[in-house]
Structure 1
Amino acid sequence: MKAILLVGLVILSAGPIHAQKKQKNAATSRPKLEQGTTTAEGKRTGKWSFYTSKQALELTFDYDSSRINFLQPDTTSYLVRIGEEWTPRRMARAPRLLGSTDQRLDDLLRSLRYPISALRQQLQGTVVMGYTVDVTGHTRDFTVESSLSPDCDQEVWRAIKTLPDNWIPAVYAGRPTPSRFYLSVKFQMIDEAEHERQQRELKRLAQQSADGASPSVVPVRARYAHEIIVTALGIERSTR
């Protein structure tokens, strides 16, 4: 097996593809997606603004008054619990992360590791984790909707639990309502040639977006479903 370099790709719902690459001064070159002030103890205070990776404002929240000052319009149909069924409905207030969605996915990507057991078995595939955002703005009822292996499933669960658990609950029919979200983590192994091809495609899509064209090759996804790709680059595949 050759030396392994882990590279991650994030595919955001209804959005472009973003590549995460190791480079010098990456932290200073990336736009700050969460902006506000904290106390000496690290507690957020006053108004905070949260942005997408394209610097579009998603949310402004006042931590002193616990009030939403701005919420990006969202007409997506979300899965909400009505009786015993999860049913797609448009919300009076859509559920969303109390923070930057892109920042959360970036943090999650940085935490994920390709399990050694999966690398040894040359195992590839997707783990889909479902979870509920309840009326208190916290997540619960985590379920593995699609399993790859016990170690891969556990790695996704471990990474999710490292993230802050603060959400704005959905409001439907005049009251807070539980809503369902899904995270898909794809583990894949590619060689250098395929990696270069993917990088060219990323650049093409980025240029297309910068030129104002609609990148029709990027599928539109529901906002309650996010996808992350964890790539092991430089794997010498077995011919067995």
Structure 2
Amino acid sequence: MTPSATSARRSLDEDLNRAGFYPLLVADVVHDALDERTPLSHLVHLETHIDRNAVHRHITVLVLTEDMLVVTHVDDQQLDEAGEQVMAQISTESVPVSQIRSVVLSYVYAQPQNYQPSDPARELTLSIAWSGGQRLDMGPAGCADPQCDADHGYTGTIVQDDIVIRVSAEADGQQAVLNAKAFARALRKLSTAPAAAPRAPELAGARPRLAGRLTRSHHQR
């Protein structure tokens, strides 16, 4: 393993340890899904949801390599009220970079009238689409007349995405927003790079084409 590959792996493991969500388990799953590929960039996003009876956490890890986007998602579930029996549910998906259809970034800035180039975004939403699947968000339609009570049917928007990650400075810290932006830039750069033209196979023992032309011209005289 090269020094750069070792450094990239160490950086990924450090971010997984910092998240603190079963770091050894998550690291083993992520590295297994990488199949010895070297990470170029990564994004670790931990979310916590609180309902009436329990606290639910789940982590999403995106790792970009030269030819793959590896998506790992892990969440846990308590099997008893005391929380002594816990089960982790894990899924991984390896997406060829060539199949990524779009990378969408949405930003939120506070007080845009006072914006300066050095002002960071308050939050960032990263949407990545690769499968062609679409999500339809529907809602009742209306009109401009506030007194109108007619049925205008429904309206909706079609959104194409396979994964959406929202990072905010208030919840995750400003560095997390910067990290998400850096990852999105790396993914966008790699997924939009022109594909290299395939080289024609060379036959063993074949003569160069120019030499063949000279030989034929010589015999035609």
Q: TM-score range by the shorter chain?
A: under 0.3
Higher strand proportion (structure 1 or 2) = 1
Higher helix proportion (structure 1 or 2) = 2
The higher relative CO (CA closer than 8 Å, separation ≥ 6) is in 1
